[in-house]
Structure 1
Amino acid sequence: MLEEIAIENLGVIRAARVTLPAGLTVITGETGAGKTMVLTGLGLLMGGKADAGAVRPGAGGAVVEGRWQVADRPAVAQRVEEAGGEADDDGTVVVLRTVAAGGRSRAHLGGRSVPQGVLAEIADELVTVHGQTDQLRLRTASKQREALDTFAGPEHLAVVDAYRTAWSERAALQAEIDDLTARTAERAREAELLRLGLAEVERVDPKPGEDVELQAMVARLGNVESLRLAATEAHEALAGEDVESAASAVELLTRARRALEAAAGDDPALGDLGTRVAEAGYLLADVATELSAYVDDLQADPAGLEAAHTRLAELTALTRSYGETVDDVLRWASEAGLRLLDLDDGGERLRGMQERIGELDAELARLGAAVTAGRTAAGERLAAAVTAELAGLAMGGARLEVAVDPADEPGAWGADAVTFSLVPHPGAPARPLGKGASGGELSRVMLAVEVALATAAAERAEAEGAGAAAALPTFVFDEVDAGVGGRAAVEVGRRLARLARSTQVIVVTHLAQVAAFADAHLVVTKSAGDEGTVTGVREVTGDERVRELARMLSGQEDSEAARTHALELLESSSVGR
């Protein structure tokens, strides 16, 4: 329930704060006073699109704040918590929306800044708005089907959801099947190229790192003489072989070691140095031995060199096509093998998907039949309930017909075409609401449908042991009584009051017959001042309310006749509820 709404600098409203009680609240005022600005503010709280043009001229921005009771709405309370907001101790949550004159909009929920879409999410649970434009929506087949499904109840809606889930899965599978079928030739070409590449890799049979090893071998075999010369020269320098004019490095180290060892008795430090020189001598001796073995093993191998070049050429052909190195080629082969398995498995997957399509078709046929049966039964009940309501709305003899016919082809919502038709009086042909009903008739039919839906929801809530108000959102009606007058207007007010027994109802109206049924009466007034036209909102009671009803009746709030009529309306509305 919306407990309070405050508006600053929105349209002609400079500042207004109103408390909204449970039951029926009406908002009245002269034409142009700004009644709909209250609903514009409510729309912002519901996550509606912000319009900088709605900011009061000269103001830096507009602010709308609402306080919602969510203690009986666990889903909303949970969404608030998920968004980082907090409800107050009394179970209410504050929603704030600001619109800068430059067009930038911000939203806050429970003290936390949130995206605008979060407000729209919780609005679906909290409020339902019906304006004169909703009459146009009632003309569409989709909205008529939606109203019928809602009236049918949660069990029926669960079947509809199951149908939609199966339909979505089937549509996704069919799209994948179509894609697989359309790409059959392309997939075959890709598979053939992969097979050729894998066959070439298998024929060459490269080993990890083989290209690096071969390159090293080619470099060694191609430079045997220079390598032999370098190794021999180094060996001679270390070991002294074939060197007549100079001592070898090993011999020089041996001399140094002996000299240090001879003097070690006089200074132990020289003995330590001698040990280290001895270690260096051993290391050089080992290197000299290895160099000698290297020279002995280094042999020219023209055949081996040619074989290495040939093998490198084969590997280069692979790396030119499938990767920069042999390791890259092997990685490509591994991935190509998996891709080839996937391509070869396409036929099996296609058969599996086609089998699933068959299962889903059977499931859709079963669920579709259940949806049709539910709509047909609910259509009879809805038609009877609305027809009964129309009799009380000065449309005696009129009746609503709800037709559930096979659609041209099944869709995401079932296999039915739902049509609401109005028989305006006995003997007249049924006319689809979208083609033949007048604006006044649509207003009353829409209200009758809403009352029927709310009554059904309240009865279900009571049967389940839940409070009716907890099951229904706040209903907001924006001059849906347009084109209605006289006794029909009184009945509109009576039915709005009846709806308000189950939930909070807020109505913008220009009819005194409707306003007389209100539990709370708010008046939007405007006045001219130094800052231009200013609009305010205040609750009227007692004599002030009588004056407002008199103004609505005759335009003359001080007319005794109008005041008498207003008092009669108030008295009759209190008796006739």
Structure 2
Amino acid sequence: MITELSITDLGVIDAAELELHPGLTVVTGETGAGKTMVVTGLGLLLGGRADRSAVRVGAGRARVEGRFAGLPAPVRERVVEGGGELDDDELLISRQLTTAGRTRCWLGGAQVTAAQCAEVASELIAIHGQAEQVRLSRPERQRELLDQAADPALRQVLTDYRGCFERRRAARAELDRLRADSQARAREIDLLQFGLAEIEKVDPQPGEDARLAAEAARLQAVDELRTSTRQALVALAGDEDSYEAADAIALTQLARKALGELAGTDPETTPLLERATEVETLLVDLAGDVSAHLDRLEADPARLEAVMERTAALTALTRKYGDDVDQVLAWAAESAERLATLESGDTRIGELEAEVAACTERLGELGARLTDLRRRAADRLAEACVTELTALAMPHARLQFELTPLEEPGPHGLESVQLLFSANPGSEPGPLGRVASGGELSRVRLALEVSLAEPRDDTPGTADGTERQTMVFDEVDAGVGGRVAVEIGRRLAALARHTQVVVVTHLAQVAAFADRHFVVAKSDDGQVTTSGVRQVEAVEREAELARMMAGMDGSDTALAHARELLELAGHAGTGSTAAGTVAESPRSARKA
């Protein structure tokens, strides 16, 4: 539950602090005083949209802080995981927004995103404003409420059902795609098989095209190569047909002999002689190798023809499958994998058909269990709501949940859920959103909340497995008044026996049932209007109720009516905390 709420520079509120306690708390004030800013502030803690226009005029930023006690274990774990800390087992949630539109959130002192803040705060607060009344007229919201009232076993069944539904949906989508692509798949298989067969027939080897190109160039230029090689050989070893031309070996031999003669008389020339001898040896070896290479340079027309034919075969492949043989081989490897995938399509179709059939059968089993659980919950919840509506001055109201089978299993079960309502005898129940007036819709909504909040032996928690500790109602009494308003106050007080309830109201009949009463009052200095929040008790509370009823807080008649109303609400005219244990012990709550 929330124990403290602090609001700074939000709307017309300059600074306000509310110390909240278990039970029923009401917030009242004149129109335009800013009492809805309390709900707006809580909405910001819930990750609501941060509108920079909500920052008070003249201020640079607005800030809302909420302190929560009695935290469920999952919430405590999530706060610690996010780097936050608890203060005496209490959690401080803060949100700040600036006139520039920037927003920051803190969870237990650790800065987090608005989504992370909302994830935790939504486990602790449930706000029921006019938007919730609109949602109540929608079938999906009516189904959620019915599931919340069902046996706790429904949670696991619904989880299993939705998992099975998603598996079937994915399998059917893949199956439809494979079937729709069957012709295109067959064409692609033929093309891949043809290409792979063509490459396999040629059997190219990595780098083969480059090697063949080099060999072909050598075979085509064999005459030029022989001429150049012979010139090198003549330069090294001379020409048998011409003994006049000097060659490198002969000249080196002359140099060696001359140095040999020098070495006999001049020992310092010995190293030179050794080097000349080494050069002569190298030249003789080189000449031998060049001569051998010249012998190998023979024209080979047959080999050249074979090389050209092989090159042509490889070129035919590179025109289709890659710029060179290596790219052709890469294409072949990828295409072989693709072909294996495509050829397994028929096998996959069979697997998917079996999976869809199995999921469909399982959906039928789980859906039947959901239907049975919902039917039992529908009767129980409708009966409880009719009892509440009778207390809310609608003795002839009828309420029933209509479960209509779907042609195909839906994501939430085998049926659609619609809440039918009739306020008057003789009228056939019709869809709630179409036949209920604003005031009737408010009362139905409250009846559902009270019925769902009543503890039951078989429902230790809510339908989604969480414990909602605070319920906030904004204008739940819209469109009603008189005795109905008194009964709404009474029902809210009953709801507050099981959960902390905060209500923003404009009706004295509702406010009179509160355990704590806060008033938002405005003032202005001629330029800027500001508001503050204060708790009222005793005489001040009587004056506020008188103002709400008659617009006159000093009239003896209005004050007398206020005291009478407080006595009716069970406050013995004191205007303070109600008798009993309502304001003495925390309570867990459940959110509809």
Q: Which amino acid aligns with 2:2?
A: L
Kindly indicate whether residue 285 of structure 2 is the aligned counterpart of residue 289 of structure 1. Answer: no
Residue of structure 2 equivalent to 1:105: 103
Q: Name the CA distance, whole Å, in 1 between partners of 2:65 and 2:456.
A: 29
Is the 2:124–2:467 contact (alpha carbons within 8 Å) kept by the matching residues of 1? no
Kindly indicate whether residue 319 of structure 2 is the aligned counterpart of residue 323 of structure 1. Answer: no
Q: Name the CA distance, whole Å, in 2 between partners of 1:255 and 1:561.
A: 144
Shift of 1:398: 2.7
Residue of structure 2 equivalent to 1:471: 467
Q: How do 1:2-401 and structure 2 match up within 5 A?
A: 2-69=2-69, 72-82=71-81, 84-239=82-237, 242=240, 244-248=244-248, 252=252, 255=255, 259=259, 284-401=283-400
Q: Name the CA distance, whole Å, in 1 between partners of 2:67 and 2:327.
A: 64
Structure 1: give runs of 5+ residues left out of the alignment.
none
Kindly indicate whether residue 427 of structure 2 is the aligned counterpart of residue 431 of structure 1. Answer: no
Q: Name the CA distance, whole Å, in 2 between partners of 1:181 and 1:553.
A: 71
Q: Which amino acid aligns with 2:216?
A: V
In structure 2, the residue corresponding to 1:3 is in which secondary structure? strand
CA, structure 1 residues 147+462, in 2 after alignment: closer, same or farther (shift >3 Å)? Answer: closer
Q: Name the CA distance, whole Å, in 1 between partners of 2:441 and 2:257.
A: 119
Kindly indicate whether residue 482 of structure 2 is the aligned counterpart of residue 486 of structure 1. Answer: yes
Q: Which amino acid aligns with 1:107?
A: C
Q: Give the stretch that moved more between structures: 52-61 or 183-192.
A: 52-61
Q: Which amino acid aligns with 2:308?
A: H
Residue of structure 1 equivalent to 2:445: 446
Q: Name the CA distance, whole Å, in 2 between partners of 1:207 and 1:197.
A: 16
TM-score (normalised: structure 1):
0.90
The equivalent position to 2:491 in structure 1, one of 477, 492, 495, is: 495
Shift of 1:313: 1.3
Q: Name the CA distance, whole Å, in 1 between partners of 2:278 and 2:5.
A: 95
Q: Give the stretch that moved more between structures: 413-422 or 204-213.
A: 413-422
Shift of 1:141: 1.2
Is the 1:440–1:484 contact (alpha carbons within 8 Å) kept by the matching residues of 2? yes
1:496-518 Cα distance to aligned partner (Å, 9 max, x none)? 22322332221101122222222
Shift of 1:421: 2.1
Q: Name the CA distance, whole Å, in 1 between partners of 2:351 and 2:373.
A: 33
In structure 1, the residue corresponding to 2:434 is in which secondary structure? coil
Kindly indicate whether residue 410 of structure 2 is the aligned counterpart of residue 414 of structure 1. Answer: no
Is the 2:152–2:458 contact (alpha carbons within 8 Å) kept by the matching residues of 1? no
Kindly indicate whether residue 534 of structure 2 is the aligned counterpart of residue 534 of structure 1. Answer: no
The equivalent position to 2:562 in structure 1, one of 563, 566, 571, is: 566
Q: Name the CA distance, whole Å, in 2 between partners of 1:254 and 1:16.
A: 116
CA, structure 1 residues 552+281, in 2 after alignment: closer, same or farther (shift >3 Å)? Answer: farther
Shift of 1:276: 7.0
In structure 1, the residue corresponding to 2:9 is in which secondary structure? strand
Is the 2:57–2:528 contact (alpha carbons within 8 Å) kept by the matching residues of 1? no
Q: Give the stretch that moved more between structures: 235-244 or 185-194.
A: 235-244
Residue of structure 1 equivalent to 2:454: 455
CA, structure 1 residues 273+414, in 2 after alignment: closer, same or farther (shift >3 Å)? Answer: farther
1:479-534 Cα distance to aligned partner (Å, 9 max, x none)? 11122333332332232223223322211011222222223222111111144111
Shift of 1:288: 3.5
Q: Name the CA distance, whole Å, in 2 between partners of 1:337 and 1:484.
A: 75
Identity level (%)? 49
Matched residue count = 569
In structure 2, the residue corresponding to 1:434 is in which secondary structure? helix
Structure 2: give runs of 5+ residues left out of the alignment.
571-577, 583-592
1:404-433 Cα distance to aligned partner (Å, 9 max, x none)? 232354311112122222343555432331
Is the 1:526–1:536 contact (alpha carbons within 8 Å) kept by the matching residues of 2? yes
Shift of 1:563: 2.7
Residue of structure 2 equivalent to 1:404: 403
Is the 2:385–2:447 contact (alpha carbons within 8 Å) kept by the matching residues of 1? yes
